[in-house]
């Protein structure tokens, strides 16, 4: 299988008068009317959701879930027009959350993350990707990754990404190469050995890491067996897209200011575009990623929250979906494919989640809506009424 590319994203099988039969936490059958009685035994559960919409459990494939503190003290600056990169350059922004995260205990980080996951679940999300990157030292990065292993206790499944290259820590100011060497020589081997994360990510941005630095880190990570992601073309276009294409990164994130040439490169290299329209909204910009151009070029895209304390403090994937519709003019089917099957590919879980294919995990989100269009027509309201995880009702 492969993600849905370009025009394929407009395709979906939509059933009315449908049932879903579940056995042992997995999809046994999906169809219209009544299931074949031969399929059904005492261990089979059949759901009918008359008058409602059922989709595969939503997948939020880009979040910065685990962090200390919050940043509402920067909100007034933001409202007054001080830019995100200026706040960071003044030692605020990500670096302010780094200070708070270093000070936070495991239990504090755990409780905060658990609460965020609870919000996400209530909004219909059943799988979440979570990045580290607010420690920028081994001890704290590890604590974040250990917290992200909390899916052992939570209904939501988590996929971890190691992102110590999220900013240059104050103690390494002006010595970014030395910091990258520390990541490559000391942190990455431990993450690998202790199986703390599957993916490696970096913030390729003006004033943060250059394209060459991103290439260096990600190629080392790739050699060590990590799958790759890269925050690229979020605020300035400085070459992160080329790195994503060259290294065949699984995904490239943001892409708000990507060029037409960049889109062609990602399409050709089959890099998934993880788009974060709620970040554009929260940054109070009008640079929504050119999603339609990406589809026209044959790219696969996802929509995801970027949930984090700075550029996008929200836990509601439906809000990103609504912006995908209203600001990017994506259709309901394209959006649902973005947050289910394509997001499953983005987190490398397409064998088990992201669609109602027989045998996949019975992760199901049910909306109080008579049809798909209604999900987008009636906006800014949480329409989720029920969530099933591995066949169990969790909401
Ligand atoms: O994806 N761009 C870099 N990282 C996050 C923001 C993190 C923060 O501001 O705390 C993002 O937007
Ligand atoms: Fe991000």
CA distance to 20, 147, 167, 193, 356, per residue, from 113 (Å): 32, 8, 21, 24, 28
pTM of the model as a whole: 0.98
- Phi, psi angle pair for 241, to nearest 5°: -65, -40
Residue 39 pLDDT:
84
Residue 152 pLDDT:
76
Quick check: 362 and 388 in contact, CB under 8 A? yes
132, 311, 312, 320: residue to mutate for ligand 1 pocket, most atoms within 8 A of CB:
311
**Beta carbon of 64 within 6 Å of any ligand 1 atom:** yes
Residue 36 pLDDT:
87
**Beta carbon of 309 within 6 Å of any ligand 1 atom:** yes
Which of 124, 4, 121 lies closest to 55 in space, CA to CA? 124
- Phi, psi angle pair for 189, to nearest 5°: -60, -35
Pairing label, strands 384-389, 392-393: antiparallel
For residue 243, how far is its CA from the centre of ligand 1 (angstroms)? 19
**Beta carbon of 318 within 6 Å of any ligand 1 atom:** no
Residue 42 pLDDT:
85
Q: What sign for the dihedral angle of Cα 9, 15, 19, 23?
A: negative
**Beta carbon of 94 within 6 Å of any ligand 1 atom:** yes
**Beta carbon of 201 within 6 Å of any ligand 1 atom:** no
For residue 97, which atom of ligand 1 is closest to its CA?
Answer: 10
pLDDT < 50 regions, the chain: none
Exposure on the CB side of residue 99, measured as CA atoms within 13 A: 10
Residue 40 pLDDT:
85
**Beta carbon of 97 within 6 Å of any ligand 1 atom:** yes
For residue 203, which atom of ligand 1 is closest to its CA?
Answer: 3
DSSP symbols for 285-339: ------HHHHHHTT--EEE-----SSS-----HHHHHHHHHHTT---HHHHHHHH
Q: What sign for the dihedral angle of Cα 262, 267, 269, 275?
A: positive
Q: What is the pLDDT of residues 167-203, one digit of tens each?
A: 999 999 999 999 999 999 999 999 999 999 999 999 9
């Amino acid at each position: 299988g492969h993600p849905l590319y370009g025009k394929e994203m407009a395709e979906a099988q939509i059933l009315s008068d449908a049932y879903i039969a579940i056995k042992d936490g997995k999809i046994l059958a999906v169809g219209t009317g009544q299931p074949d009685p031969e399929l059904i035994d005492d261990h089979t559960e059949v759901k009918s959701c008359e008058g409602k919409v059922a989709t595969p459990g939503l997948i939020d494939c880009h979040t910065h879930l685990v962090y200390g503190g919050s940043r509402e003290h920067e909100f007034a600056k933001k409202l007054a027009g001080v830019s995100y990169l200026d706040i960071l350059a003044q030692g605020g922004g990500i670096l302010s959350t780094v200070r708070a995260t270093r000070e936070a205990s495991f239990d504090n980080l755990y409780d905060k993350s658990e609460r965020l996951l609870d919000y996400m679940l209530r909004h219909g999300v059943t799988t979440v990707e979570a990045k580290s990157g607010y420690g920028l030292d081994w001890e704290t990065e590890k604590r974040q990754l250990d917290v992200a292993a909390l899916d052992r206790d939570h209904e939501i499944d988590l996929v971890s990404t190691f992102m110590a290259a999220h900013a240059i820590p104050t103690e390494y100011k002006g010595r970014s190469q030395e910091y990258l060497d520390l990541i490559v020589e000391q942190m990455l081997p431990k993450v690998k050995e202790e199986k703390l994360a599957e993916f490696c990510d970096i913030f390729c941005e003006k004033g943060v890491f250059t394209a060459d630095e991103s290439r260096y880190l990600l190629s080392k990570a790739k050699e060590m067996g990590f799958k790759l992601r890269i925050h690229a073309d979020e605020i300035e276009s400085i070459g992160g897209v080329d790195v994503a294409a060259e290294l065949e990164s699984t995904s490239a994130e943001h892409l708000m200011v990507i060029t037409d040439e960049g889109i062609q490169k990602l399409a050709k290299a089959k890099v998934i575009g993880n788009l974060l329209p709620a970040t554009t909204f929260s940054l109070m910009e009008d640079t929504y990623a050119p999603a339609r151009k990406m589809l026209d070029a044959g790219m696969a895209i996802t929509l995801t929250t970027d949930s984090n304390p700075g550029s996008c403090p929200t836990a509601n994937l439906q809000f990103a979906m609504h912006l995908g519709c209203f600001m990017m003019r994506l259709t309901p089917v394209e959006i649902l494919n973005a947050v289910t099957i394509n997001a499953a590919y983005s987190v490398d879980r397409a064998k088990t989640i992201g669609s109602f294919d027989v045998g996949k995990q019975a992760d199901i989100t049910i909306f109080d809506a008579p049809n798909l269009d209604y999900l987008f027509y009636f906006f800014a309201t949480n329409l989720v009424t029920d969530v099933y995880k591995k066949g169990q009702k969790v909401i």
